[in-house]
Amino acid sequence: MIKISSIYLFIILVSIILSPINSFSMIKDTTVIIDSQITFEEAIKGTKAPQNVIANLVFLDVKYYSTDSKLHKGQLIIHKDVKQDIEEVFKLILQNKFPIAKVIPIVKYDWSDNASMEDNNTSAFNYRNIAGTERLSNHSFGKAIDINPFFNPVVHKDGTHTPEKAKYDTTKPGTFSAENFIVKEFLKRGWRWGGTFSSYADNHHFDKP
């Protein structure tokens, strides 16, 4: 009799001790770190885009594992016609835990492509010209996305990089090469990868012309 009660007591004690640990680890596993949570109006504030361009834009929440190996949530502004592609590519990114540093609308960088790239920020819509030209970039219509730009800098013909201090090492997580599954997935869906551009290798850039 005494023996049985001790076993019960032991079981009760163990469950009391373990229960807070269990609930804590459950909370920890489902926690999402919010990198961006603004409204659409806030995300397009100050853009030079005309109304007919804005009318085709949609907001997309994306989840990804960041460089801290934790689950994060960010926001993308894209053209409605590429929403399905981006949604499905990000599903693959999440499943494979391909690290994405952060995904924050570029308004938070005062529409500065350079500031966003320096911060390794992934973004899509930005009504701007192609760097060094008078031609509108596909980013202007939300049909281009730059992913992990500091890990995947532009490599110019003379060997210099943009961002200047970025290093391009395709053995590191979060980087692109022709063999990378994300690059292959984009190409399969009719997108271009900037890494194969003839004028300079725009390694973080994907677009659907």
Closest separation in Å from C-beta 24 to Zn ion: 41
Closest separation in Å from C-beta 22 to Zn ion: 45
Query: Is residue 146 part of the contact set for Zn ion (CB under 5 A)?
Result: yes
Query: Is residue 85 part of the contact set for Zn ion (CB under 5 A)?
Result: no
Closest separation in Å from C-beta 159 to Zn ion: 20
Q: How many residues bind Zn ion (CB under 5 A)?
A: 3
3-state secondary structure 91-151: HHHHHCCCCCCEECCHHHHCCCHHHHHHCCEEECCCCCECCCCCCECHHHHCCEEECCCCC
Query: Is residue 205 part of the contact set for Zn ion (CB under 5 A)?
Result: yes
In this complex, which beta carbon is closest to Zn ion, that of residue 107 or of residue 144? 144
Query: Is residue 113 part of the contact set for Zn ion (CB under 5 A)?
Result: no
Query: Is residue 79 part of the contact set for Zn ion (CB under 5 A)?
Result: no
Rg (CA), the chain: 22
Closest separation in Å from C-beta 45 to Zn ion: 21
In this complex, which beta carbon is closest to Zn ion, that of residue 85 or of residue 146? 146
The interface region with Zn ion, picked from 26-34, 99-107, 144-152, 182-190 by CB under 5 A, is 144-152
In this complex, which beta carbon is closest to Zn ion, that of residue 66 or of residue 126? 126
Residues 101 and 69: their CA atoms lie apart, in Å, by 10
Q: Over the range 24-59, which residues count as b (16 or more CB within 10 Å of their CB) and which as e?
A: eeeeeeeeeeebbeeeeeebbeebebeeebeeebbb
Closest separation in Å from C-beta 76 to Zn ion: 13
Bridge partners of 75, per DSSP, are: 61
User: What do you get for the CA distance between the two ends of the chain, in Å?
Assistant: 79
The DSSP output letter for 174 is: T
Bridge partners of 144, per DSSP, are: 207
Q: Report the interface residues with Zn ion, using CB under 5 A.
A: 144, 146, 205
